[in-house]
């Protein structure tokens, strides 16, 4: 082979090696923004703006679930303890898909409360997470000595729908029947609903988008008889 060709091939190989080396070094030095804890955060603490900060770390050191922007974390709840300087992971915050918690959606005076319902009394299974519902109580004449109905709660937010397998209908098999809903209630509402469930049956009515309060004085057997 021509010596000049050898020289050209050697030069090309050297340039290629130099280019690859530069690319590897550039990748090693490349950084990206990531959210880290500015202070220690405890489990179930609501994340405030001052609790986190943005720093630049080498790309190779970033966790795949690390948040990159403040709006991804501020206002949510930490689902585990976080030490100062630790990367804040989106999978460890409330509000992420399948995070398994209702806490971030409850007001300070609210609790998550399970209302047992059969398919026939749960809008035929039409109720979905995020719906607003009214609960209608029908008294057991055997237990109360009376036969009447009344609306005991209005506009409750459905946090989850549970099925007969004890899992969320969002995750369980589609053939599993709903057994009840988890709703956001105040303490007083929880007490009233629990009492109603023990003294009769509860039915739910799904509200429309612009539903207003329509609960009346209730109905008795005389209303069924007509005017």
Per-residue pLDDT of the chain (227 residues; tens, 9 = 90+): 556 665 555 555 655 555 555 555 555 568 899 999 998 899 878 899 999 999 999 988 899 999 999 999 998 888 889 999 999 998 888 765 444 566 667 777 899 999 998 888 888 888 888 899 999 999 998 888 888 899 999 999 999 888 777 677 765 456 667 688 999 999 999 999 999 999 999 999 998 877 666 666 677 666 556 55
Phi and psi for 34 in degrees, rounded to 5?
Answer: -150, 150
Round to whole Å and give the CA distance between 147 and 220.
6
Contacts of 103 (CB under 8 A, 6+ apart): 44, 77, 94
Pairing mode, strands 148-163 and 110-116:
unpaired
Strand spans (E) along 14-69? 31-37, 52-58
C-alpha atoms less than 13 angstroms from C-alpha of 23 in its C-beta half-sphere = 6
Are 127 and 181 in contact by the 8 Å Cβ rule? The answer is yes
Supply the pLDDT for residue 127. Answer: 87
Are 119 and 125 in contact by the 8 Å Cβ rule? The answer is yes
Round to whole Å and give the CA distance between 214 and 212.
6
Across the strands, what pairs with 6? none
Are 186 and 111 in contact by the 8 Å Cβ rule? The answer is yes
Supply the pLDDT for residue 208. Answer: 86
Are 159 and 184 in contact by the 8 Å Cβ rule? The answer is yes
Supply the pLDDT for residue 97. Answer: 44
How far are the Cα atoms of 37, 63, 101, 141 from residue 46, in angstroms, in the given order? 13, 22, 14, 47
């Amino acid at each position: 082979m021509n010596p000049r060709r050898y020289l050209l091939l050697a030069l090309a190989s050297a340039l290629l090696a130099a280019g690859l080396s530069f690319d590897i070094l550039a990748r090693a030095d490349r950084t990206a923004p990531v959210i880290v804890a500015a202070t220690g955060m405890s489990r179930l603490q609501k994340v405030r703006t001052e609790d986190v900060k943005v720093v630049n770390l080498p790309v190779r050191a970033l966790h795949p679930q690390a948040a990159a922007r403040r709006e991804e974390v501020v206002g949510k709840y930490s689902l585990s303890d976080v030490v100062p300087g630790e990367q804040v992971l989106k999978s460890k915050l409330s509000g992420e898909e399948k995070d398994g918690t209702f806490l971030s959606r409850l007001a300070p005076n609210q609790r998550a409360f399970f209302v047992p319902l059969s398919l026939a009394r749960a809008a035929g299974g039409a109720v979905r997470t995020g719906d607003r519902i009214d609960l209608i109580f029908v008294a057991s004449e055997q237990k109360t000595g009376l036969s009447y109905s009344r609306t005991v709660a209005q506009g409750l937010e459905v946090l989850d729908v549970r099925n007969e397998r004890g899992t969320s209908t969002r995750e369980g098999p589609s053939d599993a029947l709903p057994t009840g809903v988890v709703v956001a209630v105040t303490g007083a509402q929880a007490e009233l609903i629990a009492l109603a469930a023990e003294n009769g049956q509860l039915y739910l009515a799904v509200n429309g988008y612009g539903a207003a309060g329509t609960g009346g004085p209730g109905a008795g057997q005389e209303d069924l008889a007509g005017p």
